[in-house]
Amino acid sequence: MSYEEQQADELDAMKAIYPTELTLFNDDDGDGDHKKLLNENQLPKFSIKISSEFNEDDDNDCDKYELELLFQLPKNYPDVGPTIEIFSSKNLEDCDELEIVDILNDMIADNIGMVMVFTMVTRASEWLNTLKERKIIERKQAEEQRKKEIEEMERKKFEGTRVTVETFIAWKMKFDAEMATLAAKNKEMKKDETGKLTGKEMFLQDKNLIDSDLNFADVIAGDDLDVDIKVDERKLTGKEMFLQDKNLIDSDLNFADVIAGDDLDVDIKVDESLFQDDDELLAEDD
């Protein structure tokens, strides 16, 4: 059987199997007479469109995969393999198209000498259904993974961050450092506002102020002034001191002389009934 006869018989079979899916490209008259093309020594060029099987669970167009294969038969086919291209596709990625082309090219090498178009179209249909199942599984897995990630994010919102000894120590050190810095800033701001230290701050910074207060009289009067400072360490109340030391009475009576000087003669009348014996005063207190 000649090459033309083998090609004509195979095309007859393919047109019968795929009446609406097969398109003859170099049919200028549009009558679909492939035998005329062969008689005119024109190389047959045709495409066959195949689709994945439809299932009731299919998600409309997302689960519909289509592939249109373009075949061109050489003059000495089937001793020389046909040329195959992807004419169009639906829901296929570039890597998917490369995969099916490699599969069909391997089949050509295994079927040299035999008509093979129908065999390759059948293999492509099987591959398309397998691809569909694989894509559905991958999509479901991606959806489940996305749901798990969302659930994990929601769970972490309520769970919070787990505290360990190490993380608490690190946090405490950072917190203490921040508080110390804040306290120093506040203290500096207060200094800037007043321009002066508080009494407590002055005392803490310079303890010599204690001695300075004790020597205040010498600082004012100079070296020539001899001030005898006596400190009553008995810790008595004013009334108790008055009762124990009657000289305070004379001190009060002489107050005018102390103020006016020796030349001023002041006549001060004193009501002696104001002064009673110590025992009577103590009795009245009781």
Q: What is the mean pLDDT of residues 1-19?
A: 91
Q: What is the pLDDT of residues 96-134, one digit of tens each?
A: 999 999 999 999 999 999 999 999 999 999 999 999 999
pLDDT at residue 94 in the model: 94
Which of the four pLDDT bands, split at 50, 70 and 90, describes residue 264? very low
Exposed, middle or buried: residue 27 (CB in 10 Å: 0-12, 13-18, 19+)?
middle
Q: What is the pLDDT of residues 203-237, one digit of tens each?
A: 666 666 666 655 665 555 555 445 454 555 555 66
What secondary structure letter does DSSP report for 86? E
Q: What is the pLDDT of residues 150-195, one digit of tens each?
A: 988 888 777 767 788 998 999 999 999 999 999 988 888 877 666 6
Q: Domains along the chain?
A: 3-151 (3.10.110.10), 197-226 (no CATH), 230-286 (no CATH)
Q: What is the pLDDT of residues 68-103, one digit of tens each?
A: 999 999 999 999 999 999 999 999 999 999 999 999
What secondary structure letter does DSSP report for 195? S
Rounded CA separation 111/182 (Å): 85
**3-state helix/strand/coil string of 20-68:** CCEEECCCCCCCCCHHHHHHCCCCCEEEEEEECCCCCCCCHHHHCCEEE
pLDDT at residue 210 in the model: 60
pLDDT, greater one: 206 or 137: 137
Which of the four pLDDT bands, split at 50, 70 and 90, describes residue 256? very low
Q: What is the mean pLDDT of residues 39-48?
A: 76
What rounded mean pLDDT belongs to the chain? Answer: 77
Look up tokens 């090219």; give the residue.
105
pLDDT at residue 84 in the model: 94
Q: What is the mean pLDDT of residues 15-33?
A: 76
